[in-house]
């Protein structure tokens, strides 16, 4: 019998929160702020990079795309502002079954932490819009942990902040991107579940180290129960 999973670290956009193209819409605003117009070859190239690095800290993405820190910060501010407007306008919804899954995991005595590659202001806007401010035990963004995905920092920060378990082997991680999978594996989590409600397909998730691929986070409680049996 495997050890009981006591800490579950869940990604937000694409995993527990339906993305619905909001990241790409907000990126278009950020690119325009830096003079990159939709329809241009440069915009297409940058958008392809954004898609490939879904799950990574957004400021890290903009540092790669725009080079110097000042331009990256301008792009990131424009991105966060645009995403916030979309959330405020009602373009934000939970993945079906996500809330029930989180509530079930906590009812089973597990600690649940929600993580994101967004800045804290955007994360809080999403949580408020969904009425999720008290749904999880803790929420983390890259600035809270040191580095965002694909580094293991947010998963390990979840362990250190909550003290929920005594070993990394008792952690489960779920996300919709290859970076979520890399982060979970690098942190030593025993269950690293990819979900198919977001950015990357099953092949990409498995190539990045997923121990299981699920249609949705709604199936995660059953997967954890099976792992423990």
Total count of residues recorded for the chain: 229
Per-residue pLDDT at 56 exceeds 80: no
Average pLDDT of the chain is: 91
* pTM, rounded to two decimals: 0.87
Residue whose C-alpha is closest to residue 224's, from 171, 187, 147, 160 = 171
Q: What is the mean pLDDT of residues 41-51?
A: 85
What residues pair up with 112 in beta bridges, in sequence order?
A: 8
What residues pair up with 139 in beta bridges, in sequence order?
A: 114
Percent of the chain surpassing pLDDT 70: 100
Residue whose C-alpha is closest to residue 11's, from 205, 147, 155, 121 = 155
Q: Round to the nearest angstrom and report the end-to-end CA distance of the chain.
A: 6
Query: In angstroms, rounded to a whole number, what is the distance separating the alpha carbons of residues 104 and 101?
Result: 5
pLDDT at 174: 98
Distance of CA 55 to the CA centre of its chain: 5
Collect all residues with Cβ–Cβ distance below 8 Å to 173 and sequence separation of at least 6: 8, 9, 10, 155, 180, 181, 183, 184, 187, 189, 191, 192, 193
Distances (CA, A) of 57 to 80, 124, 195: 12, 16, 19
pLDDT at 46: 86
Peptide bond before residue 150 is cis, with ω within 30 degrees of 0: yes
Residue whose C-alpha is closest to residue 199's, from 222, 175, 227 = 175
Cβ–Cβ < 8 Å for 23, 54: yes
Cβ–Cβ < 8 Å for 119, 143: yes
Collect all residues with Cβ–Cβ distance below 8 Å to 152 and sequence separation of at least 6: 183, 184, 186, 187, 188
In the block, tokens 């979970």 appear at 184
Residue whose C-alpha is closest to residue 57's, from 149, 182, 157 = 149
What's the pLDDT tens digit per position in 136-181? 999 999 999 988 889 999 999 999 999 999 999 999 999 999 999 9
pLDDT at 144: 93
């Amino acid at each position: 019998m495997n050890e009981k999973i006591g800490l579950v670290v869940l990604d937000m956009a694409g995993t527990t929160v339906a993305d619905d193209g909001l990241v790409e819409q907000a990126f278009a605003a950020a690119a325009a702020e830096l003079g990159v117009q939709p329809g241009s070859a440069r915009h297409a190239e940058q958008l392809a990079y954004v898609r490939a690095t879904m799950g990574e800290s957004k400021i890290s993405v903009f540092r790669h795309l725009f080079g110097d820190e000042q331009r990256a910060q301008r792009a990131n501010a424009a991105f966060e502002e645009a995403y916030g407007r979309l959330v405020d306008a009602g373009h934000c919804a939970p993945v079906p079954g996500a809330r029930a899954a989180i509530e079930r995991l906590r009812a089973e005595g597990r600690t649940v932490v929600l993580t994101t590659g967004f800045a804290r202001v955007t994360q809080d806007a999403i949580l408020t819009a969904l009425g999720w401010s008290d749904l999880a035990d803790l929420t983390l963004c890259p600035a809270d942990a040191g580095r965002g995905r694909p580094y293991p920092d947010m998963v390990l920060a979840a362990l250190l902040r909550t003290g929920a378990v005594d070993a990394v082997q008792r952690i489960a991680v779920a996300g919709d991107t290859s970076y979520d999978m890399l982060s979970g594996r690098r942190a030593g989590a025993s269950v690293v579940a990819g979900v198919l409600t977001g950015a990357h397909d099953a092949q990409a998730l498995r190539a990045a180290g997923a121990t299981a691929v699920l249609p949705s986070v709604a199936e995660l409680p059953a997967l954890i129960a099976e792992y423990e049996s």
